[in-house]
């Protein structure tokens, strides 16, 4: 913890630091407030995580931006027009809304979804322009398919950002590394025939979605996999990404592989999750690959165990972005 405190102190005194050298993080109050208070989804996790950053001073190591709503044209890179139009008009059927979850549905879900997607796009543009790391404090909506949503996901931020990068940002090759405990099925189907994007998913083989899609590379784990098994598989997945020689990495960093997670089925420790993230950050720094962090799942009961892991994720990302150096003492 001493190292973190020293880092905070050092950062706080760099008054002339340009925002681009800070870790760019996107956040909007609607990430929490756009979900109905009675929804089963732990909507408070976004606000609670921001509170932690502010209480610890870690927000000083970040440049936190409130995103604009995404342009509809960008949604259409990955989604059918009819689905997009009906969502924007509030005309999804009850069945479609139930498949997404986040019910009871509220009209604020529309604006929430647009700013969440906007945050992912702005974080991606920032990473490409600065060459460093950035993050969106929500999203990783990998269960959204081209013409329907599911599993808490309306639109697929990973697919939209990957296609935006290759179509509009001069990026040639994108690797999507999905380390959430659930398979990135929507990402896989949307990008199945896109050779400029490589999709890699590490997930629990017996978890949702029960009908798996085919990613470019799937690395399923047995239930109850521990740190050693998990990290060995993460290492393989990371090497697959590096072999693709990407000039942008999109990291779905869900922490629902934690043993404490209510939906996870794996047995990964907080330290194991930290090591996972640091492996990704080390590789990205070493190979100088701009990297965007998508928050992903985390459903521990109590939610504090998920927040611990998300706190580690973004504070380590901020440190790696700043210094490029690894400290083993935190
Ligand atoms: Zn998940």
Distance in Å, CA 297 to ligand 1 centroid: 4
Structure confidence by residue, pLDDT tens digits, 156-183 = 999 999 999 999 999 999 999 999 999 9
Distance in Å, CA 103 to ligand 1 centroid: 18
Distance in Å, CA 324 to ligand 1 centroid: 28
Distance in Å, CA 158 to ligand 1 centroid: 14
Distance in Å, CA 296 to ligand 1 centroid: 6
Distance in Å, CA 12 to ligand 1 centroid: 34
Q: Is the pLDDT of residue 322 over 90?
A: no
Distance in Å, CA 151 to ligand 1 centroid: 8
Structure confidence by residue, pLDDT tens digits, 213-233 = 999 999 999 999 999 999 999
Q: Output the CA torsion sign for 199, 204, 270, 35.
A: positive
- DSSP for 129-186 reads HHSSEEEESS---TT--SS--BTTBSS-HHHHHHHHHHHHS----EEEEE-SSS--HH
Distance in Å, CA 59 to ligand 1 centroid: 26
Contacts of 215 (CB under 8 A, 6+ apart): 178, 183, 184, 187, 188, 199, 200, 201
Q: Is 0.85 surpassed by the pTM of this model? A: yes
CA distance linking residue 141 with residue 184, whole number of Å: 8
Distance in Å, CA 68 to ligand 1 centroid: 25
Distance in Å, CA 207 to ligand 1 centroid: 9
Distance in Å, CA 171 to ligand 1 centroid: 27
Over residues 21-36, the mean pLDDT reads: 95
Q: Is the pLDDT of residue 44 over 70?
A: yes
Could you give the C-alpha distances from 148 to 85, 138, 155, 190, in angstroms and in order? 12, 20, 8, 11
Distance in Å, CA 261 to ligand 1 centroid: 10
Ion ligand 1 nearby residues (CB, 5 A):
180, 182, 254, 256, 297
Distance in Å, CA 9 to ligand 1 centroid: 34
- State residue 127's pLDDT score: 97
Distance in Å, CA 238 to ligand 1 centroid: 19
Q: How far is CA 304 from the centre of its chain?
A: 18
Distance in Å, CA 72 to ligand 1 centroid: 26
Q: How confident is the model at residue 324 (pLDDT cuts 50, 70, 90)?
A: low
Over residues 198-202, the mean pLDDT reads: 98
Domains and CATH numbers, the chain: 33-323 (3.40.800.20)
Distance in Å, CA 298 to ligand 1 centroid: 7
Over residues 270-297, the mean pLDDT reads: 97
Structure confidence by residue, pLDDT tens digits, 81-131 = 999 999 999 999 999 999 999 999 999 999 999 999 999 999 999 999 999
Distance in Å, CA 90 to ligand 1 centroid: 26
Distance in Å, CA 180 to ligand 1 centroid: 5
- For residue 302, cis peptide bond before it (omega within 30 degrees of 0): yes
Distance in Å, CA 49 to ligand 1 centroid: 18
């Amino acid at each position: 913890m001493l190292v973190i405190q020293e880092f905070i102190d050092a950062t706080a005194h760099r008054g002339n630091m340009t925002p681009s050298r800070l870790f760019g993080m996107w956040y909007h109050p609607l990430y929490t407030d756009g979900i109905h208070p009675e929804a089963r989804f732990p909507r408070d996790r976004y606000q609670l995580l921001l509170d932690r950053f502010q209480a610890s001073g870690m927000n000083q190591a970040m440049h936190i931006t409130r995103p604009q709503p995404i342009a509809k044209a960008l949604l259409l890179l990955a989604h059918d027009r009819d689905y997009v139009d009906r969502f924007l008009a509030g005309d999804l059927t009850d069945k479609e809304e139930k498949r997404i979850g986040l019910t009871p549905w509220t009209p604020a879900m529309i604006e929430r979804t647009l700013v969440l997607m906007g945050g992912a796009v702005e974080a991606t543009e920032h990473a490409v322009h600065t060459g460093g790391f950035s993050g969106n404090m929500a999203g990783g909506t990998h269960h959204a398919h081209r013409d329907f949503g599911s599993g808490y996901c309306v639109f697929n931020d990973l697919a939209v950002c990957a296609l935006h990068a290759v179509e509009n940002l001069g990026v040639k090759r994108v690797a999507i590394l999905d380390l959430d405990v659930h398979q990135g099925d929507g990402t896989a189907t949307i990008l199945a025939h896109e050779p400029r994007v490589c999709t890699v998913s590490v997930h629990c083989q017996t978890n949702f979605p029960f009908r798996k899609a085919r990613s470019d590379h799937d690395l399923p784990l047995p239930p109850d996999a521990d740190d050693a098994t998990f990290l060995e598989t993460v290492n393989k997945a990371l090497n697959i990404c590096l072999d693709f020689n990407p000039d942008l990495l999109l990291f779905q960093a869900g922490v629902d592989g934690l043993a404490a997670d209510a939906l996870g089925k794996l047995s990964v420790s907080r330290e194991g999750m930290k090591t996972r993230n640091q492996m990704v950050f080390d590789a990205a720094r070493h190979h100088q690959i701009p990297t965007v962090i998508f928050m992903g799942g985390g459903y521990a009961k109590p939610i504090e165990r998920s927040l611990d892991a998300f706190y580690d994720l973004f504070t380590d990302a901020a440190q790696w972005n700043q210094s490029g150096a690894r400290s083993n003492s935190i």
